[in-house]
Amino acid sequence: TQLLEQSPQFLSIQEGENLTVYCNSSSVFSSLQWYRQEPGEGPVLLVTVVTGGEVKKLKRLTFQFGDARKDSSLHITAAQPGDTGLYLCAGVSNSGYALNFGKGTSLLVTP
């Protein structure tokens, strides 16, 4: 199993602050996905990054895939209370079949 470590595990910030969440592994992945999960709901896919060094932007969210395809980061600019949730990264193995999830970063943004 290819393990993914997410940090920090918990993050509580004020509205308007910036933050970065990390997803690291010793294994290489063919692609990596980021999900957000709200209480009582299933995870919702935010983005898939495929190419090493790739950067994708989704409004105030910026996702980056490491050059070696072993790690990824999610940066949120000017966080809002609506960003509150559990952020999960999931790595797709080179076989294309296995999808390994990290434990997630629980984000709380207070007004």
Partner 1 sequence: SAVISQKPSRDICQRGTSLTIQCQVDSQVTMMFWYRQQPGQSLTLIATANQGSEATYESGFVIDKFPISRPNLTFSTLTVSNMSPEDSSIYLCSVGHGRLTDTQYFGPGTRLTVL
Task: Give the interface with partner 1 as residue ranges (CB under 8 A).
Answer: 4, 30-31, 40-45, 48, 88, 90, 92, 96-104
In the complex with partner 1, which residue's Cβ is closer, 45 or 68?
A: 45
Q: Least separation, in Å, of the C-beta of 57 and partner 1?
A: 18
Residue 88's identity, in one-letter code, is L
What is the residue whose two structure tokens read 């007004």? 111
Q: How far is the CB of 39 from partner 1 (least distance, A)?
A: 10
Of 47 and 76, the one with the shorter C-beta distance to partner 1 is 47
Q: How far apart, in whole angstroms, are the C-alpha atoms of residue 14 and residue 9?
A: 17
Specify the residue, 76 or 90, whose C-beta has the smaller distance to partner 1: 90
Identify the DSSP state of 108: E
In the complex, the smallest distance separating the C-beta of residue 90 from partner 1, rounded to whole angstroms, is: 8
Report CA-CA distances (Å) from 100 to 34, 57, 83, 84, 92: 11, 23, 23, 23, 7
User: Whole-number minimum distance, CB 72 to partner 1, in Å?
Assistant: 15
In terms of CB distance, is 40 or 82 closer to partner 1?
A: 40
